[in-house]
Structure 1
């Protein structure tokens, strides 16, 4: 590895599986000390061990402001001030407009939108000037897809936050950018499918629908996150890095 993140401190929310874990592993391999968050203690401990000695796992829910306060005080005590913040924690809740309940809506909004907003707000006293903040959006933030209304709207909100936050943080040279993946091979499909077979079929359908004719590996999204986290992307402010296999463009 090239040690692009040597002596940096990175925080990845939702870092115990999928894209978040892939990012945390790559950041650690590139020299960063990494803190990951998640709601499942056992998964979090296993993920931190897989990342290596430079990683710590801090349990918490991004929809809980006290949990966010505890996250950042713990990171400062154990690792120091933060250079990289990846706002990755999210839920994938699907359903038709006619049957989407208030509880389903609140779950999406509380974690994907409110959680993203306050994950950044609560981090501000702990971020170094010149830090990189990466908000994970989704290619559906500009598409109309059946059963995705609340999820897509929450990810469009995340894309908007990258612009607004960047405008407010210019004086501290904190860059906020959105990383927007298309379908990715992660356990998320199993959260909305009735069985492992249904999850596999859903992933296959998305692959067929994507111009690249496959879904991404989490490591490909992590590589894009590394670019945004490193000094190589110093001229990107309030931008969107689209990594979606051509889904939006073609």
Structure 2
């Protein structure tokens, strides 16, 4: 009985930004729980490599910041291949810099990638889910959804928006049988954080600041994703689950 709560056999999951890092780890976790996985990315070569590392997965290349491209890709897959039962809005980027000197063009680019994409893909997929009366949407937020750190104010703003967009999606779509939640990772060794984990001083500070005393490993995010994608979370809606070694709850 308990194992069936987390069984994703027969479900199809789309994970955006899944050619590397957290997205690829989440895709692998969903696949190991039985889901058929659609990988997404803009870099065709990297996406092909990711697909090759996951037998049975399908690459679905489209630009998550292009609303029309998103709609065409989602509608085409739904019409020709079948339903998307689970969406993980993982695509994101980081552009660090002092706020007083931050380029407005970089701010716009970061917001399009981190926030607009979650709206575009979420809306495109939800329209089909609503018609079926069921669906799971998982937005990837961040520990910066709740906390700030010098040099990343625009990123913090974007992830705060993802947290509140998650609440709004749940409020609008729960009545149609959808569950919309978010995962907020702490500090994990990913390509996005390479500048941080290769900095010995920062790593030492982080390990002291985090109650668990270490960086997270991307596979440690899989359990939260499987839970939110499965029937085990059938009455969980609008929540942000922090997976951060305790950093967000400790001074």
> If the length of structure 1 is used for normalisation, what is the TM-score?
0.91
Q: Tell me the equivalent position of 1:48.
A: 51
Distance 1:92 1:206, change over 3 A: farther
* Aligned-partner SS, 1:179: strand
Distance 2:67 2:201 in 1: 37
Q: CA deviation at 1:225?
A: 0.5
Number of corresponding residues: 245
Q: Paired residue for 1:111, among 110, 113, 118?
A: 113
User: Counterpart of 2:223?
Assistant: 223
- State which of 144, 149, 154 in structure 1 corresponds to 2:148: 144
What displacement does 1:100 show?
Answer: 0.7
Q: Which stretches in structure 2 are left out of the alignment for 5+ residues?
A: none
* Structure 2 Cα separation of the partners of residues 37 and 108 of structure 1: 18
Aligned counterpart in structure 1 of residue 20 of structure 2, from 12, 17, 20? 17
In 2, distance between residues paired with 1:204 and 1:119?
37
Pair 70,49 (structure 1): closer, same or farther in 2 beyond 3 Å: farther
User: What residue in structure 2 maps to residue 246 of structure 1?
Assistant: 246
1:27 equivalenced with 2:30 (yes/no): yes
Quote the Cα distance in structure 1 between the aligned partners of 2:218 and 2:245.
Answer: 13
Q: Distance in 2 between matches of 1:38 and 1:238?
A: 26
More strand by share: 1
Task: Give the superposition deviation at 1:126.
Answer: 2.7
Unaligned runs of 5+ in 1: none
Q: 1:207 to 1:52 in 2, by over 3 A?
A: farther
CA RMSD of aligned residues (A): 1.9
Contact 1:4 1:30 in 2 (8 A): yes
Per the normalisation by structure 2, the TM-score is 0.91
The one-character-per-residue Cα deviations of 1:109-160 (angstroms, maximum 9, x if unpaired) are 1111111111111212332422110010001111121111110110010000
Hey, which bits of structure 1, 4+ residues long, moved more than 4 A?
Answer: 200-205
User: Does 2:193 align with 1:158?
Assistant: no
